[in-house]
Amino acid sequence: MTTFKLGRRALMATAVAAMAFGGSAMADGHKVADSIHFLIPGGAGGGWDGTARGTGEALTKAGIVGNASYENMSGGGGGKAIGFLIENAESNHGTLMVNSTPIVIRSLTGVFPHNFRDLTLVAGTIGDYAAMVVGKDSPINSMEDLMAAYDADPSKTAIGGGSVPGGMDHLVAAMVMEAAGKDALGVKYIPYDAGGKAMAALLSGEIAALSTGFSEAVDLANAGEVKIIGVTADERVSAAPDAMTMKEQGIDTSFVNWRGFFAAPGLPDDKLAMYQKALGEMYETDEWEEVRARNGWVNIHNSGDDFQSFLEDQEKVIGDLMKKLGFL
Amino acid sequence: MLEGLLIGLQTALSVQNLLMVIGGCLIGTFIGMLPGLGPMSIIAIMIPVAISMGDPSAALILLAGVYYGAIFGGSTSSILLNAPGVAGTVASSFDGYPMAKSGKAGKALTIAAIASFAGGSVGALLLMIFAPALSSVALLFHSAEYFALMVVGLSAIAAFAGTGQVAKALMMTVLGLIMATVGEGALFNMPRFTMGIMDLQSGFGFITLAMAMFALPEALFLVLKPKEMGGGNDGEIKDLRISRSEARAIAPVIGRQSLQGFFIGVLPGAGATIASFLGYAVERNIAPKAEQEEFGKGSIKGLAAPETANNAACTGSFVPLLTLGIPGSGTTAILLGALIALNVTPGPRLMIDEPQIFWAVIMSMFIGNLVLLILNLPLIPYIAKVLSVPRNYLIPFILFFTLMGAYIGQNNATELLLLVGFGVCATALRFADYPLAPLLIGFILGGMLEDNFSRSMQLYDGVAFIWERPMTLGLLAIALLLVVLPSYRARRARARAEGVADGD
C-alpha cells in the first residue's frame, strides 16, 4: 500500500517537473545552440534566478536555443557556484552562470577568493539603476530635501537598504552622499535582509529613505505608495518619467547594477562565440522584449572584450569608492 | 464589498478556476508531504505553468492553492515521520509525532486537517473583511517590535520549567542561538564562525537542522533501541475520531491561534514559521498546569496550535502582498514576481483597478480550504498506514526522505554532511535526555532577534527603543508574564501540595 502511494507521489512530482521544464521543445528555425544549462548562484525567486530563467525563457521561446535547464546552487552568497564552475571547468562547457555587481564588490572585500578574471566572460545583458526612495507621506520630495533633513538631524535621517553594510545598497547611498558633498560614512545605514522587508520598513516610517533597485521601486511608485526622489541613471528612465535623476539635482553620480553571464575558464572559443551570438540575437526578439518589459530591466549589452573593459572599469570605480569610503 | 464578493465568487466558481483550486491544492499537498520541498520551491516550479495560462486570476488561484496545499501537506511528514516537510510545520512535530508514536496517527492527522482548515478559513474571512484596513497593521511593527516579538517567542522555553528540565532547555536554547550566529548575518559585511568553509557562509539551513534534530535521531533510535520504539506501531489506526471533550479542548486553541496566527502572518517580517512557534509557545504557557505537562508528549492542544497558526499566517501574508505589493516572505516574493509577470501590480490600486482578481483569490481560499479538508479526511486512514510498515522498510524510507529533503532544498551536498553530523550529535543529546525543540526555537528566532535588536540599537542610538515605543514595552511585558506565569503557578502548586502535607 505504502509503496504504491509513494510511487504515485513520485510520479506526480515528476509530472509537475516535466510540465515545468518540458514546455520548450517546440522551438525551431534559426537555432544557435542546442541547449544551455544555467547555473544560478542563489535560491529560487531571487534576482539572479529571475534573470537566468527569464533569459532562458526568451531564448527557448524564440527558438534561438533548443533547451534550457536551470540549477540553483546557493552558498557563500554566490561564492560556491563560482568555485564549482572553476573546479569543474572541463565538464561545464555547456553551462552559463548568471552574476551581477556583487561579484565585483565581494571579490574586492575578499569574501570571494576568486574574481571575474578566473572565469570566461560571456556578456553583460541587462542592468538596473539604483534609486533613492521615500514614503508617499514623507515631507521629503527631492534629494535636496533629503540633504536638508540629514543636515538638520543626521541620527534621525536613517537610510535603509536590502544589503549588508558595505554591500551594494549601502555603497550607492554612500556614493550619493559623497557626491552631494556630505560625509559618506556619517550617514546612518540600516541593513535589512531582503528588499521587501526594507520597503516595509520605509512605509512604516522606521527609516527616512531607502536605497534600492529602480525596478524594485517603480511599481510601488506608479501605485503612489512611494516617491522616487533620485535615480542613478544619466537620463530619466521611461518607466518612471517623473523621477528625477541624481545629475539633474546637481549630484554628479551614476550607477548601474548590471547582470550578465559567465562560463567556465578555458571555454573553447567556438562555444564562447556561440553563446555570445545567442545572447546577441536575443535582443531582437519579441519574446525577450516581453520578458524584459515585465521585469523592468534595462538592456545593457556588453559582449566579450566590452564586457571585460566594463568589468575592469567597474572594479576600479567601485574599488576606489570603497577605499575612499573606508569600506576596504 | 458585497458587489466585489459576488464578482469574486462568480470568478472563483468558474469551471476553469475550480479546476485550478483543486489542481493546485492536490499538487501542493502531495509535494508538500515530501520533506524538504517547501511551498517556495513548489511555487517556483509551478510559475511557468501559471504564467503560460495568461489569466491572472486563474494563475494566482492556482499558485495560492499550491501554497496552502503545501503547508497542509507538510504537516503529514512532520506527524508521521518526524521529518518536517516545511519550516512552518516543524512545530507540528513537537506533539504530532508523539501522538503518532502512541498509535494516534489518525487522530493527529485529523486534528491537523481540521486545525488547518479552521486557521485557513478564519484567515480568509479576516482577509475578506479587513484587508484594506489591515495594510496599516502590516506597517505597525518596527524593528523594535519584531525584536520584542522574538523575545515573546523565546519565552516558550520557560514552559519547559514544568518538566523539571529548565537548565537543559536553557542550554539547548543558547546552543540554538549560538548556531544562528554562524554565517553572514544581515548586519555584517564579513562571515562569522564559518571557519573559512564557504558552504557555511549563508549559515546552517533550517530544514537541514530540523531534519537532523528530529528525523535522523528517530531513524537511529529505531535501530539502536528497537524495543522502546515498538509500542503503537501495530498498524491499527485507533481513534480516528475526535471525542467531544477533545473537540472542546482544542476549540479555544483553534480560535485563539486563528487570530494570532493571522496577525503574525500580516507582519512582513514574521511569517508562518514564527507564527507556528509563537502559537505553540503561547498555548503551552497559558495551558493549565496538568495539560502543560502533556505538551511535547502528544498534547492535542500542542498540535492544534501550530497547525492553526501556520495556515492562518499563510493567509495573513497575502495582506501585505495584495494591499501593499510588499512580499513578507520568500514565498510571497515569488508570488509577487508571478503577478508582475502577468501584468498585475499588487498594491493599493489592485482592489480598485482589478477587483475581480482580488476577490476571486479570497473566494478561492475558502474553496481551497474546503477542498483540502474533503481531500484529506478520507485519505487519512491510508496515509497513516505508513506507520504500519515493518521497521526494516520504514528506516530506509525515513533515511531516504530525510537525506533527500535536506539536499533538494539547497541542491548542496554539504547539507548532507551537516545533516549527518548534527544528526549524530542530536542522537547523543537525546540519549542524555536533552530536549531538542528549544534548540530549534533558539535557532529560528536567534537570527531575527539579533538583526532586529541591532537595527533598533542603531536607529535609537542605544536601548531607548524599549521605553520610547509603547508596543515594544507591551510585548516585552507579555514575554515576562509568559515566563513568570508558569513558574508562579508551579510554586503555588508546590506550596499547596506542601500545605496539604503539613496538614497531614
> Domain holding A230: CATH number?
3.40.190.10
DSSP B68: H
**Minimal Cα–Cα distance from B187 to chain A, Å?**
5
Residues A158, A103 within the same domain:
no
Helix segments in chain A, DSSP class H: 2-21, 47-61, 79-87, 102-109, 143-152, 168-179, 195-203, 214-222, 269-282, 286-295, 305-325
Cβ-nearest to B459 among A13, A71, A190: A190
Residue A228: closest CA among A154, A136, A127: A136
**Which of helix, strand or coil describes residue B6?**
helix
Expressed in angstroms, the distance from the first to the final Cα of chain B is: 67
Burial class (CB in 10 A: 0-12, 13-18, 19+), A158: buried
- What confidence score (pLDDT) does residue B312 get? 93
Give the global pTM.
0.81
**Minimal Cα–Cα distance from B200 to chain A, Å?**
7
Q: Which residue of A has its CA nearest to B136?
A: A204
CB-based contacts of B235: which residues, under 8 Å, 6+ apart?
A: B385, B387, B388
Domain count across chain A: 2
Question: Does the pLDDT of residue A291 top 60, yes or no?
Answer: yes
Residue A13 lies in a domain: no
Residue A240 lies in a domain: yes
- What confidence score (pLDDT) does residue A6 get? 40
Residue A260, strand partner residues: A99, A124
Residues A121, A261 within the same domain:
yes
Residue B395: closest CA among B224, B236, B232: B224
CB-based contacts of B109: which residues, under 8 Å, 6+ apart?
A: B75, B76, B79, B80, B376, B380, B383, B384
Q: Do A165 and B458 touch (CB under 8 A)?
A: no
Residue A317 lies in a domain: yes
H helix or E strand, kind and range, residue A303? strand A298-303
Q: State the Cα–Cα distance between residues A229 and B430, nearest whole angstrom.
A: 57
Burial class (CB in 10 A: 0-12, 13-18, 19+), A220: buried
Q: Supply the range of the domain harboring residue A162.
A: 129-249
Q: List the grid coordinates of B193.
A: 564562525
Residue A86 CB neighbours (<10 A): 16
Contact B441, B176 (CB under 8 A): yes
Distances (CA, A) of A154 to A1, A148, B234: 68, 10, 68
Q: State the Cα–Cα distance between residues B115 and B303, nearest whole angstrom.
A: 9
Sign of CA dihedral B329, B269, B95, B247: negative
Interchain CB contacts (distance < 8 Å): A and B = 176
Q: Do A45 and B341 touch (CB under 8 A)?
A: no
Domain limit, last residue, from A202, A222, A249: A249
Residue A68: closest CA among A58, A50, A56: A56
Q: How many whole angstroms from its chain centre is CA A192?
A: 17
Q: State the Cα–Cα distance between residues A160 and A172, nearest whole angstrom.
A: 11
Give exposure, B21-35, as e/b (b: 16+ Cβ within 10 Å): bbbbbbbbbbbbbbb
How many Cα atoms occupy the beta-carbon half-sphere of B80 within 13 Å?
31
Domain limit, last residue, from A218, A249, A280: A249
- What confidence score (pLDDT) does residue A132 get? 95
Q: State the Cα–Cα distance between residues B380 and B376, nearest whole angstrom.
A: 6
Residue A153 lies in a domain: yes
Best residue in A59, A67, A188, A220 to probe B by mutation, most B CBs within 10 Å? A220
Query: Cα Rg for chain A, rounded, in angstroms?
Result: 21
Domain limit, last residue, from A224, A249, A274: A249
**Minimal Cα–Cα distance from A184 to chain B, Å?**
17
Distances (CA, A) of B37 to B71, B217, B327: 10, 20, 20
Residue A12 lies in a domain: no
Beta strands at A209-213 and A159-161: parallel, antiparallel or unpaired = parallel
Q: Which residue of B has its CA nearest to A192?
A: B186
Residue A24 CB neighbours (<10 A): 19
Cβ-nearest to B325 among A45, A75, A220: A220
Q: State the Cα–Cα distance between residues B223 and B178, nearest whole angstrom.
A: 31
- What confidence score (pLDDT) does residue A130 get? 92
Amino acid at the residue B273: T
Distances (CA, A) of A36 to A94, A96, A281: 6, 7, 15
Contact B191, B200 (CB under 8 A): yes
Q: State the Cα–Cα distance between residues B287 and B289, nearest whole angstrom.
A: 6
Q: State the Cα–Cα distance between residues A39 and A17, nearest whole angstrom.
A: 18
Cα angle for residues B406, B411, B415 (degrees, 5° grid): 45
CB-based contacts of A218: which residues, under 8 Å, 6+ apart?
A: A228, A237, A239, A240, A296
CB-based contacts of A277: which residues, under 8 Å, 6+ apart?
A: A32
Q: Do A71 and B411 touch (CB under 8 A)?
A: yes
Best residue in A48, A128, A192, A327 to probe B by mutation, most B CBs within 10 Å? A192
Q: What is the CATH number of the domain that holds A262?
A: 3.40.190.150
- Chain A environment of B185 (Cβ under 8 Å): 164
Residue A196 lies in a domain: yes
Q: Is B142 on the interface with A (CB under 8 A)?
A: yes
- What confidence score (pLDDT) does residue A17 get? 40
Burial class (CB in 10 A: 0-12, 13-18, 19+), A215: buried
Q: State the Cα–Cα distance between residues B471 and A61, nearest whole angstrom.
A: 52
Residues A84, A123 within the same domain:
yes
B291 compared with A213, residue with greater pLDDT: A213
Sign of CA dihedral B377, B378, B381, B382: negative
Amino acid at the residue B420: V
Burial class (CB in 10 A: 0-12, 13-18, 19+), B420: middle
A186 compared with B231, residue with greater pLDDT: A186
Residues A221-232 have a mean pLDDT of 90
Residue A215 lies in a domain: yes
- What confidence score (pLDDT) does residue B353 get? 77
Sign of CA dihedral B225, B226, B230, B234: positive
- What confidence score (pLDDT) does residue B304 get? 94
Residues A274-285 have a mean pLDDT of 94
Q: Do B349 and A196 touch (CB under 8 A)?
A: no
Q: Is B245 on the interface with A (CB under 8 A)?
A: no
Cα angle for residues B186, A47, A259 (degrees, 5° grid): 110
Residue A14 lies in a domain: no
Q: State the Cα–Cα distance between residues A278 and B168, nearest whole angstrom.
A: 60
H helix or E strand, kind and range, residue A35? strand A33-40
Question: Does the pLDDT of residue A277 top 70, yes or no?
Answer: yes
Residues A314, A229 within the same domain:
no
Residue B457: closest CA among A140, A188, A27, A250: A188
**Minimal Cα–Cα distance from B137 to chain A, Å?**
9
- Chain B environment of A72 (Cβ under 8 Å): 411
Residue A55 CB neighbours (<10 A): 27
Expressed in angstroms, the distance from the first to the final Cα of chain A is: 62
Return the minimum-mean-pLDDT range out of A37-41, A91-95, A149-153, B388-392. B388-392
Cβ-nearest to B198 among A5, A43, A75: A75
Residues A174-191 have a mean pLDDT of 89
Q: State the Cα–Cα distance between residues B496 and B504, nearest whole angstrom.
A: 13
Cα torsion B22, B25, B30, B31 to 10°: value is 130
- Chain A environment of B333 (Cβ under 8 Å): 45, 194, 196
Q: State the Cα–Cα distance between residues A128 and A255, nearest whole angstrom.
A: 9
Cβ-nearest to B325 among A188, A197, A219: A219
Helix segments in A89-224, DSSP class H: 102-109, 143-152, 168-179, 195-203, 214-222
Q: List the grid coordinates of B246.
A: 477533545
How many Cα atoms occupy the beta-carbon half-sphere of B267 within 13 Å?
21
- Chain B environment of A75 (Cβ under 8 Å): 198-199, 201-202, 410, 412, 414
Residue A129 CB neighbours (<10 A): 25
Q: List the grid coordinates of B201.
A: 557562509
- Residue B135 sits at φ, ψ, to 5 deg, of -60, -30
For chain B, residues with pLDDT lower than 70 are: 1, 36, 156, 158-164, 185-186, 188-189, 226-240, 409-411, 486-487, 490, 498-504
**Minimal Cα–Cα distance from B165 to chain A, Å?**
35
Residue A160, strand partner residues: A190, A210
